[in-house]
Amino acid sequence: MKKNINLKVPPQADFIQTWRWTDEGLFLLDQRKLPQQEKYIICNTVDKVRKAIKDMVVRGAPAIGICSAIGFTIGIKNFLEKKKKISIQSINQEVKKISYLLETARPTAVNLKWAVNRMKNVCENFLKEIEKEQITLEILKRLYFFLEEEALKIWEEDIIGNLAMAKFGKDLIPEGGVLTHCNTGALATGGYGTALGVIRESYKHNKKIFVFVDETRPFLQGSRLTAWELSKLKIPYAIITDNTAGYLMKKGQVKAVIVGADRIASNGDTANKIGTYSLAVLAYHHQIPFFVAAPSSTFDLEILSGEEIPIEQRPSKEVLYCVKSKIAPLNAKAYNFAFDITPGELITAIITEKGVIYPPYKENILKTIKGNEN
């Protein structure tokens, strides 16, 4: 086994690494098994990476973006190793095939396509540079090196971005009860967290915080994953059923809500785990601040509103069964929307690695996300 990949991240990152990338492949902590088992599976082909993303072995918008970049690299590596004669045309065909496999694994999170596009750009730029050279395997090994470098860069940028996000967001979180939905920590990112990263940072700065963790039906990302991370971090929390949130807000026990995002439209409409919209409406009614924490890669500036975001529907079985036990009548059907859309007008602020964005979102998102790229 080659070195475990060493990331160039600040020492204060203190991140939980939920996967390892070696010469053997990508080792993923199987999130379906948590918290009962901490079991890793190996993905050494692009098909296995796709399946791991699709089956939610790994999940969370930033995490699947990073894993798709690694999967892209593995796919090209395997292609180069098994072919004796390679042309630029055959590489381009393989790039299209790999890109399609990864981009269609899960449709809602834009980070996946964003990461794959970065990897495709590396290939395109490299092939332009060598188009007049005689193609040899030695030359093509350089392509793998550049792809590996870019995938690592995406991973490192995510952790560094999470730290910046946490720094910007920590002062927004009040003391007292903070409610979060789904999982937005190390398991969902490069290793630190978006919304959970902000909570971590607030707690580090001695804020008296108690976290209410929505169980997040039906996949239970809250009760299985967020609770697992908070336990490791020794941050006080309690798991609540999803439909308890409104009652706690009415009692005055929730001082803020903070969630992550899978895609944010240019007007601030946000796709996140199903149930987020309900929380936003409840928070608005009870005059509780509702924050979204997400990296700039989660913004889709090409779409005008959340109406354009595709919403993934997952198998009915996830609703009709609890673990392996059926909990519904024999012929029951279920709607299993994985995400919903929270309108921008219900969001108090969006916390990014480039700063905190406040309404009006149509103007300020573009100014913050695009303005800092120039």
**How many whole angstroms separate alpha carbon 232 and alpha carbon 216?**
20
Burial class (CB in 10 A: 0-12, 13-18, 19+), 169: buried
Distance CA 217, CA 219 (A): 5
Q: What is the rounded CA–CA span in Å between residue 193 and residue 164?
A: 11
| Cβ pair 190, 63 in contact under 8 A | yes
Catalytic residue among 214, 242, 262, 340: 262
Catalytic annotation on 262?
yes
Are 105 and 87 contacting, i.e. CB atoms less than 8 angstroms apart? Answer: no
The encoded tokens of residue 263 equal 């895609």
- Using DSSP, state whether 96 is helix, strand or coil: helix
Per-residue CA distances from 306 to 110, 128, 195, 341 (Å)? 13, 37, 20, 6
Q: Which one, of 345, 231, 312, lies nearest residue 61 by Cα? A: 312
Phi and psi angles of residue 108, each rounded to the nearest 5 degrees, phi first:
-85, -45
Q: Kindly state the tokens that stand for 171.
A: 């002062």
DSSP letters along 200-243, please? HHHHHTT--EEEEEE--TTTTIIIIIIHHHHHHHT--EEEE-GG
The set of catalytic residues is: 262
